[in-house]
Homo-oligomer: A and B are copies of this chain.
Amino acid sequence: MTVSASPADLVKYLAAVGHAPKIVDFGGAPAAPAAAAPKAPKPPKAPKAPKAPKPPQAPQAGGRNKKGSKETLDRIVASKAGDFATWYGEVITKSEMIEYGKISGCYILRPWSFGIWEQIQKAFDGWIKDEPLEVENCYFPLFVTKGALEAEEDHVDGFAPEVAWVTRSGDSELAEPIAIRPTSETIMYPEFAKWLRSHRDLPLKLNQWCSVVRWEFKYPTPFLRSREFLWQEGHTAHYELAEADAMVYAILGLYKKVYEDLLAVPVIPGTKTEKEKFAGGLRTTTVEAYIDGSGRAIQGATSHNLGQNFGKIYGIEVESADGSGGKRVPWQTSWGLTTRSIGVMVMVHSDDQGLVLPPRVAPVQVVVIPIISKACPLAELQGFVDSVKAELKAAGLRVRVDDRGNQSPGWKYNHWEQKGVPLRVEVGPRDAAAQSVMAVRRVDGGKKALPLAGLGAALAAELDDVHAAMFAKAKAARDAKLVRVTDWADFVPKLNENNLILTPWCDPADQDAEEAVKDKSRTEALEALGLDDEDARTATSLAAKTLCVPHDQPPLPAGTKCFFTGKPATCWCLWGRSY
């Protein structure tokens, strides 16, 4: 057989890449495709997947339109205000971002969400590779030996309960179990010890994009908490502590930029308390976001100064720069941004119609919909539609034309709204005649007629405006929930109103005091809400925890007392209920 039946453009393409299709067909190949294939056998029974998590609810298989195509997205039933967890589950599955796979806590990132991750990757990867940061990408193995993993005590205590262990290959037991990376400090730093000899070898700045595995037993939530997730992890070593701090802060600045300039989500940069810092590190900085729909804070991304701790454990040292022949343990940093960021973005912006995508990461920024009808078939509009597409592509916009003949324009509006495309461009016969289009914004339904001439630049500006509108809306919602409390009496009531709370705090290194606030806030919240301990066990956590000591500190008048201990306050600390 030949490929003459294949689409003409594909055949042209084959020729263009210098590869003429001469198919070699040996025994065993069926003669030709049957017009209707024989009924497929039932798939063998797969073992039952572990129970699906409660929040958010996976959509019922029965909810799917069996007769329709994938093009037929089910409408979202739950409301954001009414049942946030169910709403979230519907939004991410019905927009084709996420599919629930066979293993609990592991999710499939379909092109509609992976495309967003690719936009984040492209931007962040460029920023860290550029001067002055000049980080280089690399790839370290997925596996770590037991010995290397367990060398740093605090670190292993932090991760051990969640580590997945490989103990067998084929039918053979491994001589010693090996772990799948929950993070790569313990894999990378023994190698740093081989590479770093002289102060001239510093700084060393590496990054990798990969997946990591943390086998958590809390309720998994797509994007926010999954057993495997995608991230970047950066690892650097420096001669001076100050350089390590500068690196940590530079990266934190970029994480803020990812959230605010790409995802249109406002964040609060700050430093974690001793209790909440990275296991084994010196200090952890963070950007904290707020999910208005659930009234909870969420850690957006963290950048750690690891100090010299790992260096001492793994024997990293360099000849010092002063010519004394002495040695120095370098100062290290590590920092990570995960696919959680996509979940935060969805939760913050989306609405009861579905996704609302921030323009700078949307896989499709503009969808062009020709208003086809019996009176006006596609052929009549094709020329104008092609011009519109060419104009938008030339402006560097990510554009898709939906010219399917089997769906109405109205159906398509709903479809692309549910998928969150920032701008819809409607092109009807009158538009074609006037050489103009109608542009409609997903975020607020705003409409604008725009001429074809200069359309690319006009829509690029419109997308920037959409971004600004989304950020302003999210920031207003977050700011409305950001309060200051100086007396304990106000703390739990404000917490029960889903606020983020800034309080004067005695000591971010005092873990006992922090634990006491946590306990007391939980007890008082239970009381105030009329719940008993049994309810609380099934509810998500009601306790307040510290989110960070914000870097942008309000003035702290001399003599201010800690809202809880009454000792002198040293800073403002941010508290909230958190994911």
A24 to chain B, nearest CB (A): 4
Q: Name the one of B17, B110, B132, B161 contacting A7, with C-beta atoms under 8 angstroms.
A: B132
Whether A242 and B36, one on each chain, are in contact in the complex, defined by CB atoms closer than 8 angstroms, is no
Q: Does chain B have a CB within 8 A of A498? A: no
Within 8 A of B (CB), among A311-334: 311-317, 320, 322, 324, 326-329, 331
Selected interface stretch from A143-151, A409-417, A435-443: A143-151
Bound-state Cα–Cα, A153 to B21, Å? 30
Whether B21 and A249, one on each chain, are in contact in the complex, defined by CB atoms closer than 8 angstroms, is yes
The size bracket of the interface on A is: 35 or more
Whether A240 and B146, one on each chain, are in contact in the complex, defined by CB atoms closer than 8 angstroms, is no
A45 to chain B, nearest CB (A): 7
CB-based nearest B residue for A197: B69
Chain B residues whose CB sits within 8 angstroms of the CB of A29 once the complex forms: 282-283, 307
Q: Does chain B have a CB within 8 A of A486? A: no
Whether A3 and B169, one on each chain, are in contact in the complex, defined by CB atoms closer than 8 angstroms, is no
Whether A283 and B24, one on each chain, are in contact in the complex, defined by CB atoms closer than 8 angstroms, is yes
Within 8 A of B (CB), among A216-273: 228, 230, 240-243, 245-247, 249-250, 252-254, 256-257, 269-271, 273
Whether A111 and B137, one on each chain, are in contact in the complex, defined by CB atoms closer than 8 angstroms, is yes
Q: Name the one of B4, B191, B242 contacting A99, with C-beta atoms under 8 angstroms.
A: B191
Bound-state Cα–Cα, A282 to B322, Å? 67
CB-based nearest B residue for A65: B197
- With contacts A7-B243, A139-B230, A143-B106 taken as known, whether A165 is within 8 angstroms of B163 at the C-beta atoms is no
A80 to chain B, nearest CB (A): 26
Q: Does chain B have a CB within 8 A of A90? A: no
Q: Does chain B have a CB within 8 A of A82? A: no
Chain B residues whose CB sits within 8 angstroms of the CB of A178 once the complex forms: 103
Chain B residues whose CB sits within 8 angstroms of the CB of A316 once the complex forms: 40
Within 8 A of B (CB), among A139-187: 139-148, 151, 160-171, 175-178, 180, 187
Whether B146 and A47, one on each chain, are in contact in the complex, defined by CB atoms closer than 8 angstroms, is yes
Q: Does chain B have a CB within 8 A of A44? A: yes
CB-based nearest B residue for A43: B315
- With contacts A13-B133, A24-B549 taken as known, whether A46 is within 8 angstroms of B110 at the C-beta atoms is no
Chain B residues whose CB sits within 8 angstroms of the CB of A39 once the complex forms: 327
Known: A5-B243, A32-B241, A142-B213. 4 other contacts (CB 8 A): A24-B508, A26-B283, A30-B307, A168-B177
A-B residue pairs, 4 tightest by C-beta: A19-B253, A36-B326, A27-B509, A169-B215
5 contacts between A and B (CB under 8 A): A43-B315, A68-B197, A70-B195, A107-B141, A108-B141
